[in-house]
């Protein structure tokens, strides 16, 4: 009697176990068929396909791994596509930005050559043509620089040098230019030595681009450059009291070819700030901008100290 009861109980437990295993097997088979489908789909190029798994699934890890592989190839593919598109956009805007000034340059020179204008007017025409030619030259130089940076082909020469000394040297070159534009300037650079690893050419370029930007676009009467340093990082602030940048434009100013003045007659080339940003990030630093309309703009560069 006792024995029978035990036997029955064991049988029941065995049945339950078998039932549980069968259910598991069924779930695994279902999962396998899903995995098979998904893999076929992924193989056909649908890298968005995912296999979903529950916490308790035996196949969980396999599913997660398949998804990870699909996700990473997907993001690589998308990156590639995006850089192709960026390149195409660059070519289009490039052709427009060169064609228009070039056409009018030719127009001015032809007028001079055909003696359509004489005397003072002729001289004025030559001056305008010259200006346009210089602008084109600057644009092409900046563009090549940007393309080199973007493609990662720029070679940097990092060296440990005194950032304060370097900043003073750069500003020394700027003082005559600022004065000739009737700009009041205020330069605050610590007297002490601050040794850090930078590429001096790149650092010079960053400050030059920011200052050039103020000169061309801001209409400011005053410029300040302030350098402050801690054990961890150097903070360089370039501020002006010009017309400022609107809140709608501000998030985009570091984008290549973005120009706040939306008419095509704008001076600059929309590359200066995006080059500055690239160069700052090469130094593992950050650059940000704050602005109040009609009150001025402040650019803040943070460079980590490195030796």
Partner 1 sequence: MSDFVIETKKLTKIYGEQTAVSSVDIHVKPGRIYGLLGRNGAGKTTIMKMILGLTPITSGEVDVFGQNIKGHEKRIYPRIGAIIETPGFYPNLTGTENLEIFAKLRGTPRPNAVKNALEVVGLPYRDKKLFSKYSLGMKQRLGIANAILHDPELLILDEPTNGLDPIGIAEVRKFIKDLSVDRGKTILISSHILSEIALLADDIGIIDHGVLLEESSMEDLEKKNRKYIQLQVSDVPKASLILERQFHVTDYAVQDEHSLRLYDTALDMAAINKALVVQDVAVISSQICNDTLEDYFKQITGGEGIA
42 scored as a contact of partner 1 (CB under 8 A):
no
Residue with tokens 């903070």, as numbered in its chain? 235
- Cβ nearer to partner 1, comparing 100 with 141: 100
Name which of 148, 156, 271, 144 is nearest 204 in CA terms: 156
Residue selected from 1, 4, 5, 44 as contacting partner 1 according to rule CB under 8 A: 44
29 scored as a contact of partner 1 (CB under 8 A):
no
49 scored as a contact of partner 1 (CB under 8 A):
yes
Long-range contacts of 100-103 (CB under 8 A, 24+ apart): 100/264, 101/132, 101/135, 101/136, 101/139, 102/136
Please give the Cα distance from 70 to 49 (Å, whole number): 7
122 scored as a contact of partner 1 (CB under 8 A):
no
Footprint on residues 67-96 left by partner 1 (CB under 8 A): 67-68, 71, 74-75, 77-78, 82, 96
- Cβ nearer to partner 1, comparing 41 with 150: 41
Contact criterion met (CB below 8 Å) for 101 and 136: yes
- Cβ nearer to partner 1, comparing 42 with 303: 42
Enumerate the β-bridge partners of residue 225: 187, 238
Report the b/e string of 41-54 with b at 16+ CB within 10 A: ebeeeebebebebe
27 scored as a contact of partner 1 (CB under 8 A):
no
- Cβ nearer to partner 1, comparing 108 with 203: 108
Kindly state the smallest distance separating residue 289's Cβ from partner 1, in Å: 19
193 scored as a contact of partner 1 (CB under 8 A):
no
Residue selected from 11, 69, 106, 195 as contacting partner 1 according to rule CB under 8 A: 106
Contact criterion met (CB below 8 Å) for 197 and 160: yes
Kindly state the smallest distance separating residue 97's Cβ from partner 1, in Å: 9
Cβ atoms within 10 Å of 199's Cβ, excluding its own: 19
Please give the structure tokens belonging to residue 153.
């082909």
- Indicate the Cα dihedral angle 287, 290, 293, 296, nearest 10°: -70
265 scored as a contact of partner 1 (CB under 8 A):
yes
Kindly state the smallest distance separating residue 110's Cβ from partner 1, in Å: 6
Please tell me what DSSP assigns to residue 232: S
Please give the structure tokens belonging to residue 38.
């998904």
Q: Given the rule CB under 8 A, which residues bind partner 1?
A: 37, 41, 44-55, 57, 63-64, 67-68, 71, 74-75, 77-78, 82, 96, 99-100, 102-108, 110-111, 263-265
């Amino acid at each position: 009697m006792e024995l029978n009861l035990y036997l029955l109980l064991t049988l029941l437990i065995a049945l339950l176990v078998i039932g549980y295993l069968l259910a598991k097997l069924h779930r695994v088979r279902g999962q396998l068929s899903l995995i098979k489908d998904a893999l076929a789909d992924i193989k056909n190029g649908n890298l968005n396909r995912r296999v979903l798994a529950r916490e308790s699934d035996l196949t969980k890890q396999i599913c997660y791994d398949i998804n990870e592989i699909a996700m990473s190839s997907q993001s690589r593919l998308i990156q590639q596509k995006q850089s192709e598109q960026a390149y195409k956009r660059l070519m289009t805007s490039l052709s427009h930005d060169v064609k228009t000034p070039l056409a009018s340059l030719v127009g001015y020179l032809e007028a001079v050559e055909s003696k359509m204008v004489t005397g003072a007017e002729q001289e004025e025409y030559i001056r305008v043509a010259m200006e346009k030619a210089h602008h084109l030259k600057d644009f092409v130089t900046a563009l090549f620089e940007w393309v080199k940076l973007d493609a990662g082909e720029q070679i940097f020469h990092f060296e440990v040098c005194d950032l304060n000394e370097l900043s003073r040297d750069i500003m020394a070159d700027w003082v005559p230019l600022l004065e000739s534009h009737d700009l009041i300037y205020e330069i605050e650079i610590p007297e002490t030595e601050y040794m850090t690893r930078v590429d001096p050419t790149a650092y010079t370029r960053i400050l030059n681009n920011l200052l050039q930007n103020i000169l061309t676009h801001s209409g400011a009467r005053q410029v300040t450059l302030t350098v402050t340093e801690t054990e961890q990082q150097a903070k360089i602030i370039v501020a002006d009291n010009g017309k400022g940048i609107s809140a709608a434009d501000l998030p985009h100013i570091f984008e290549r070819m973005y120009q706040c003045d939306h008419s095509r007659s704008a001076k600059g080339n929309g590359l200066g700030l995006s080059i500055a940003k690239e160069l700052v990030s090469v130094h593992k630093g950050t650059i940000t901008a704050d602005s109040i309309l009609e009150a001025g703009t402040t650019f803040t560069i943070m460079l980590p100290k490195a030796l």
